[in-house]
Chain A
Amino acid sequence: NAGVMQNPRHLVRRRGQEARLRCSPMKGHSHVYWYRQLPEEGLKFMVYLQKENIIDESGMPKERFSAEFPKEGPSILRIQQVVRGDSAAYFCASSPTGLGGPQHFGDGTRLSIL
């Protein structure tokens, strides 16, 4: 499967726990974007990364959320001390360039907070 791979597909956490969401971009893609989708809403941009660099994190909440895209391995979106409002679908997209071209999405991680 050459598409964008996200795991886990479903994640359940209790309030106060940490959530780690992983994204492996398409082969040859070095640009990764994270979006969040609340029920019945469109996707909202969170963060844009290239290998080892955060390019734009203007959509990330100031606290508890962080993202990385290391030289080796998948991109990670980390949510510390989760709260009920963090329940959402989190999607990763990848692109071969960062110049407004096509972004290809994974099937997302559905995060539920008990």
Chain B
Amino acid sequence: QQQVKQSPQSLIVQKGGISIINCAYENTAFDYFPWYQQFPGKGPALLIAIRPDVSEKKEGRFTISFNKSAKQFSLHIMDSQPGDSATYFCAASADTGTASKLTFGTGTRLQVTL
């Protein structure tokens, strides 16, 4: 029940295209859903996050879509650039002190080609 399932495992997108990464969760107590970007040799960097009271959040070229009834959320990267090539992780946590640990998906390796 604590899992977050992420797909696809890897993704190749042409420059200027849209990258879409999907995640699904089971635990209905989750109420905070961040996406992290990780480059080789670096720690995960927070990209964008959403709470279930909204269905969509946009920051620049990055958009999270959230479907509470389906327990799914996705990351859309518009106008994908070679510099976006990285591994992306979705995560989830519950808004209680002892349960605020993040549960991560298994990651999507994105490659943006010229």
Q: Is there a chain B Cβ closer than 8 Å to A107's Cβ?
A: yes
Instruction: Check B104–A100 contact: CB distance below 8 A.
Output: no
Contacts of B106 in A (CB 8 A): 41-42
Contact partner of A33 (CB less than 8 A), chosen from B6, B31, B95, B101, is B101
User: Which residues of chain A from 84 to 114 have a CB within 8 Å of any chain B CB?
Assistant: 91, 93, 95, 98-108
For residue A56, CB closer than 8 A to chain B, the reply is yes
CB pair A103–B42 under 8 Å, yes or no, is no
Q: What residues of A have a CB within 8 angstroms of the CB of B85 in the complex?
A: none
B46/A104 in contact, CB under 8 A: yes
* Contact residues in A for B101 (Cβ distance below 8 Å): 33, 45, 48, 56, 58-59
Q: Which A residues are in CB contact (< 8 Å) with B98?
A: 48, 55-56, 98
**Using a Cβ–Cβ cut-off of 8 Å, how many residues does chain A contribute to the interface with B?**
30
Chain B interface residues toward A at CB < 8 A: 6, 31-32, 34, 36, 41-46, 49, 89, 93-107
14 contacts between A and B (CB under 8 A): A42-B104, A42-B105, A43-B89, A45-B102, A48-B98, A48-B100, A48-B101, A91-B43, A98-B98, A100-B99, A101-B32, A102-B46, A104-B46, A108-B42
